[in-house]
Structures are given as structure tokens and as C-alpha cells.
Amino acid sequence: MKHARVIYEDKTQLATAADDGRLRLSDGRIVGEADVVWLPPIEPRTTFTLAINYADHAKELAFKAPEEPLGFFKAANTFIGHRGQTVRPADVTFMHYECELAVVIGATARNVREEDAYDYVAGYTVANDYAIRDYLENWYRPNLRVKSRDTCTPLGPWFVDRDDVPDPMNLELRTYVNGKLTQSGNTRDMVFGVPRLIAYFSSFMTLQPGDLILTGTPDGIVDTQPGDEVVTEIEGVGRLVNTIVAG
Amino acid sequence: MTAVVDYAALANPQRGNFPRTVVGLLLNYRQTLEALGDAVNHPPYKAPPKAPVLYIKPANTYARDGDAITVPDDISEVVIGACLAVEFARSATRVREEDALDYVAGYRVVADLYASHDVFYRPPVKHKCRDAFCPIGALQPAARVHNPDDLAIRVLVDDQERQTATTRDLVRSARRAIADITEFMTLSAGDLLLLGIPEGAPRARPGQHYRIEIDQVGSLSNKLVRSQA
């Protein structure tokens, strides 16, 4: 099933997907996609993010693929929902999207084996992990000013139950800027796949329900400007729409 | 088969009394920057930091005053980072330096525990983010603290004094740090900002206990224990 968290009639409500892209609110009413304010479908607890987790993206950034997962964290401030607006500061020259499969942990996980990893997954959503490269510094890189900015991580639209995504390691990812395809890849090209990432992080930290793993992005990043509509889409998971606005 | 929680629990999680976000400042005591010296201009850094260098202590690290902290087998010694933490009273976005303390609910003593690391190029996930590596002391309301930028800090290991420091040596004062961070990162009611670790932080091993005291704010004590595994 596909779930969402939205504001309708000034109230936060849970909803599920109905026909034709509409939503069924928890009180049974059916409303249109544009009639609600979309919130991130979950409130993440700890958000793990992977840098350089697709071989082609590593090449694009002139890095060699890492030997162990290169993880960092985002804080709660950075998330916004579907159809939200992301701020591009006036002084920047290169701000790019990153389409990423987001894995939601659903059970306490410690020292999980790769072969058991999916047992600990509640479901999936789509993240757009914007980065502003002008602000990159070589101190705890990628630094929070690049990666944990307000409005810079759209998440959603849907939380999709785990069992509705039979093979998360074979999903097409695509990004469209103003309708033009700019990024295309497949989750099978991750350097460290979903089971490996869960095994890795749980080998030295205890994961809990609500923890979120953003699994990295393939190549095809381009600069985005105020007014651009950026759609990050993952097969079977969702199509996340975002608009860039001037800061 | 492991049972996973249902969607409603993920959409409306219960956080207990712990914060949503704990964010810390690296290199915020002038002696630490001085000790790095010219290294800041060489690889891997290539330039001194411009924006505040921040790190997140994730939710699995939260612990309380008095908890026994289990040190994993691959870490022989833990550094005791004695932090003054600012707790936010309300949502703070793009706050001006002169208004910054209006957003503060109070202060806490926080121990940022970590495995020693000398290179600050990549986020220190394995060093800083082990379970219970962020014990958080009690809240001292802001009205009881005269000036967060002039507080003495003392660290004892097994009742022996091992470090003294003062927040007079902060590179970014509490006000300045709040202004610089909320420029791009909203901090909300209950969120904690750790204002830095004084240079020369002591280390402790499993079997030892430490106590951090910060004038006017309070104290925090924990015992380190070896993993049972």
C-alpha cells in the first residue's frame, strides 16, 4: 500500500493512494493531489546518507569508488514534502538535485546479516538530496551547509510498504528538469546495495524504526535555477515534484 | 521473521524526552585551531574552515546522566568531549546575533564521547556515533546562567581532575554560533547545539568513570563499561 501524510482543512491527516493519483484520507474522503499540502511521508529519526554510492557518479565527481560505505547524516530541518519549494540562495553557481531511493527502517536492527536485512525494512520512498557545491569545504565533507539545509531534501510523495517493492535493487531512477530527462540510472548499479548498507550501519550502531537511509545517486547531475520544476522518479515508488525558488 | 512497525508509528513517532536534533561544532575553541596551525592550508583541507564545521550526534547516541556507557570492543579509549549545549526554546531560522539568546531555553552539560581521530576530512560516523556516545545532562534554565561565553569547565576521570577550560575561549560565541548555523539550518524547540570541545580533552577506558562540571549549568557523570559480547 502507498501511504502519505498531508495537511487538509488545516489538519495533518494520514492518507492512502486512491485511483487516478488521488488520495483517500483516513476519514474516507477522496481528495485531489493538488488539494492537499504534502508533508514528508514519515518523520525521520536518524537519516543516513551515502556519498558516491554509484560507480558512474563516483567517476563523474572524479573520485574512486569507496572501499566502505561513505556515510553522513542529515538533520530533521532539511525535509520538505512533495510539491514543495526548495530555496536556491542568490550567491550560488551550482546547485544540483540527486534522485535517491530512500529506505525506511521498521524494526530495531543490530548486527543484522545481509541475508536478513530486508526483514528490518518497513518501506521505501523517494528523496531528492539537493547539494549546493559552492558551499563544499574539506571539513567533515560533505559539510552540513551543503547537505542539511532547510528545504533541500524533498521526500515523498508516498511511503510504499516493503512488500509492494519486490526487488528494490532493480528500479529505474529518473530526474526531469522542466520535463527534460537529465538523470537516468538503476538501483542495481549501487556500489553498496540496500542489504549491505543495513548490515554495515547496524554493525556499529543500533538502527530503530523511522531511521532513513538515502542510498546515493547515479550520474547526470546538472545545475538548477529558480523557477525550474525538478521531478525525481523511482519506478514503483513514486514521482516527487519540487520547484526551485530564489532565496 | 522480524515484525516491522506500522505506518502510523513512522508518521507520528514518539520521541520521549530526547531531542530531535543534536548538532555539534568542531574546532570551536581557539586552542584547537592554533594547534592545527598551518595544516589547515594543506591537503586534505586546503583552506581554513569558513562556515561552522558541524556534525550530528544521531538518536542512537543519546543517553542520560548516570547511565553506564558500553564501550565497543574495537575502541580502547574514549575521548571525553566536555560540551556546553544550548537548548532551543522555539524554532530558530536566520536569527540575528543580537537576538540569538532570545531563542534559548537553557543550557545542558553534554559529553560528546568519541574514538580519537586526527583527520577531520570525512564525517566521523564510526568515531562519534556509537550507541550511548552522547550522554545529556539536566536542563538549567537560561535565566540561571549569566553569560554562556564565560563559564568554567572541569573534567574529572576517577575523581582526578584531568582538564580545566573556559568558554571564554570559544571561537564562535553562543550568539554567533546560533546566528551562523540558523542561517541555513532551522533549529527547533528541544534541539541541542553543542558549542565545542575544549582542546586537550581527556580520555578514559572501560572501568573508569568521568564527571564533567560546568559553572552555573551543572554536572554529568557516567561510568564506562566493557562490552559484554
* Residue B228's pLDDT band (cuts 50, 70, 90): confident
Residue A143 sits at the vertex; the CA angle it makes with B23 and A71, to the nearest 5 degrees, is: 85
Q: How far is CA A223 from CA A144, A183, B171, in A?
A: 19, 12, 34
ipTM of the complex model:
0.96
In a domain, B7, yes or no: no
Chain B positions touching A78 (Cβ under 8 A) are 185
Number of domains in chain A: 2
Measure CA of the first residue to CA of the last residue in chain B; give whole Å. 23
Q: Say whether both A15 and A64 belong to one domain.
A: no
To the nearest whole Å, the CA of B121 is away from the closest chain A CA by: 5
- Chain A contacts in chain B segment 31-90 (CB below 8 A): 44-47, 49-56, 58-60, 72
- B154, pLDDT greater than 80: yes
B99 shares contact with chain A (CB less than 8 Å)? no
| Model pLDDT, residue B153 | 98
Structure confidence by residue, pLDDT tens digits, B162-213:
999 999 999 999 999 999 999 999 999 999 999 999 999 999 999 999 999 9
Sheet holding A180-186, edge to edge: A84-88, A238-246, A229-234, A172-177, A180-186
| Model pLDDT, residue A61 | 67
Select from A5, A78, A135 the Cβ nearest to the Cβ of B11: A5
Select from A41, A143, A162 the Cβ nearest to the Cβ of B11: A41
| Model pLDDT, residue A57 | 65
pLDDT profile of chain A (247 residues), mean per 10? 97 94 94 97 97 79 78 97 98 97 98 98 98 96 95 98 98 98 97 97 98 96 97 98 97
> In this complex, do B126 and A204 lie within 8 Å of one another by their Cβ atoms?
yes
In a domain, B8, yes or no: no
Q: Say whether both A6 and A102 belong to one domain.
A: no
In a domain, B2, yes or no: no
Among A6, A42, A77, the strongest candidate for a mutation testing the B interface, having the largest count of B CBs within 10 A, is: A77
Q: Say whether both A78 and A180 belong to one domain.
A: yes
Select from A70, A77, A211 the Cβ nearest to the Cβ of B122: A70
Select from A140, A150, A207 the Cβ nearest to the Cβ of B55: A140
Chain B positions touching A76 (Cβ under 8 A) are 20-21, 188
A247 shares contact with chain B (CB less than 8 Å)? no
In a domain, B9, yes or no: no
Distance from C-alpha of A151 to C-alpha of A153, rounded to nearest angstrom:
6
A91 shares contact with chain B (CB less than 8 Å)? no
A147 shares contact with chain B (CB less than 8 Å)? no
Q: Say whether both A67 and A132 belong to one domain.
A: yes
In a domain, B206, yes or no: yes
Which chain B residue's Cα is nearest to A204? B130
Q: Length of chain B, please?
A: 229
Q: Say whether both A98 and A15 belong to one domain.
A: no
To the nearest whole Å, the CA of A184 is away from the closest chain B CA by: 28
Pairing of strands A153-161, A79-80: parallel
Distance from C-alpha of A86 to C-alpha of B7, rounded to nearest angstrom:
26
Q: Say whether both A133 and A215 belong to one domain.
A: yes
Buried b (16+ CB within 10 A) or exposed e, B185-216: bbbbebbbbbbbbbbebbebebebbbbbbbee
Among left, alpha and beta (phi > 0; psi -120 to 50; other), residue B98 is alpha
In a domain, B25, yes or no: yes
Query: Residue A203: which CATH number?
Result: 3.90.850.10
Structure confidence by residue, pLDDT tens digits, B171-180:
999 999 999 9
A119 shares contact with chain B (CB less than 8 Å)? yes
- B229, pLDDT greater than 60: no
In a domain, B58, yes or no: yes
Average pLDDT score over residue span B128-156: 98
Decide: A63 and A53 in contact? Cβ < 8 Å: no
* Residue B1's pLDDT band (cuts 50, 70, 90): low
Domain residues for the domain of B187 are 18-226
Q: Say whether both A157 and A83 belong to one domain.
A: yes
Measured over the CA atoms of residue B147, residue B148, residue B150 and residue B152, the dihedral's sign is positive
Number of domains in chain B: 1
Select from B52, B59, B122 the Cβ nearest to the Cβ of A208: B59
In a domain, B13, yes or no: no
> In this complex, do B53 and A107 lie within 8 Å of one another by their Cβ atoms?
no
Domain residues for the domain of A25 are 1-39
> In this complex, do B125 and A73 lie within 8 Å of one another by their Cβ atoms?
yes
Q: Say whether both A46 and A34 belong to one domain.
A: no
Q: Say whether both A123 and A61 belong to one domain.
A: yes
Q: Say whether both A52 and A5 belong to one domain.
A: no
Nearest to A69 by CA among A56, A52, A86: A52
A138 shares contact with chain B (CB less than 8 Å)? yes
Q: Say whether both A162 and A92 belong to one domain.
A: yes
Chain B positions touching A15 (Cβ under 8 A) are none
Q: Say whether both A101 and A29 belong to one domain.
A: no
* Residue B15's pLDDT band (cuts 50, 70, 90): confident
Distance from C-alpha of B195 to C-alpha of B27, rounded to nearest angstrom:
10
Mean pLDDT for chain B? 96
- B215, pLDDT greater than 60: yes
User: How many A/B residue pairs have CB atoms within 8 Å?
Assistant: 148
Select from B21, B50, B123 the Cβ nearest to the Cβ of A140: B123
Query: Residue B75: which CATH number?
Result: 3.90.850.10
Instruction: State the Rg of chain A over Cα.
Output: 17
To the nearest whole Å, the CA of B11 is away from the closest chain A CA by: 4
Structure confidence by residue, pLDDT tens digits, B115-124:
999 899 999 9
